[in-house]
Amino acid sequence: MRLLQTASVRAFSGMLLSVLAVATGAAQDTPDTAHFTFSRFSVPGAVDLGIESINNGGTISGYFTDSAGDYKGFVRSSSGTVTTVVDPGATSSPSITELGQIDTTGIAAGEFYDPATSVYSSFFYNSTKGTYRTYNVPGQPANTDTSVNGINKDATHFCGAVESPPYSMENAFIGIAGKVDIFSVESSSETVCTALNNSDSAVGFYVDSAGVVHGWLRSSSGDITTIDEPDASTVTGSAPCGGTAGGTTVVGINNDGTISGHFWDSSFNEHGFYRTADGKYHEVNVPKAYHIRAVAGA
């Protein structure tokens, strides 16, 4: 199972970017540049830092790596208090724990690597009680990896991805009140669900046969719309920050239906964006940053 930053570039330097901030400027048919007030923060012990979600109360979830190479989750309260999150089953060296979306009740979803089973399992972390609950999609073959990335409604509505041996196909799943629907988009060998809102609209990304990433939006009735930011590259190439990239990744959706993510332009520079429910695109660029990944609240 790939980690939660699959097909996305991490947000280094501890930079918080919330698309729930107030933007100025009218919406256009082609992407415009949104203007925000940005805040920076640090997580003690972090060498690299990735932000995955912010909820309506201003609580942030994400992950970081420390100097020992351990992956750890974190929750940052609206007052600035940071709690490090390490699942008790993550006992490998280096250890792997990551957090994805956090809901309005303070429950966050994530994944960890369990060396006892050699499997990536998901967990729900209650940031109020400090408790952990392991979750794996039921009815799957032995040694199936599970990643829960998106969460809402007290950990009864959530989504993510599953990957079974021989690990050649990664499918998205959505779990609603105990019923799990596993699916792929455009017959892709890599489809991931990253977030869902209170209306059970879900978002994620898939990778086509040429390696280009595309976002998608799935309604509560199961209808899927492909999301390609208009300025996104249609081929892959060498990104300035390293690696091969191209296309559009969607990582968040809020209850208004606004979705957010990032894309690589024709020069393979990375930009954040958000798309309002009426289909208008707005680009998000942080001053002095050379690559941006936008996240959205629950």
Structural domain of 241: 12-284
Residue 36 is predicted with a pLDDT of 73
In a domain, 122, yes or no: yes
pLDDT of residue 13: 28
Q: Which of 259, 280, 264, 291 is nearest to 19 (CA)?
A: 259
Q: Would residue 89 count as lying in a domain? A: yes
Q: Pick from 221, 172, 178: which is nearest to 200 by CA?
A: 221
Look at residue 293 and tell me if it is in a domain: no
What is the CB neighbour count within 10 angstroms for residue 6? 18
**3-state SS, residue 275:** strand
**Domain-embedded: residue 1:** no
Domain with 278 in it: what CATH number? 2.120.10.30
291 within domain boundaries? no
For position 285, what pLDDT does the model report? Answer: 82
Radius of gyration of the chain (CA): 18
Give the DSSP H/E element, type plus range, for residue 15.
Answer: strand 15-16
Instruction: Note the pTM of the prediction, 2 decimals.
Output: 0.86
Could you list the mean pLDDT of each consecutive 10-residue stretch along the chain, which spans 298 residues?
A: 40 32 37 70 92 91 96 96 97 96 94 96 96 97 96 90 96 96 97 95 97 97 97 94 90 93 93 93 76 50
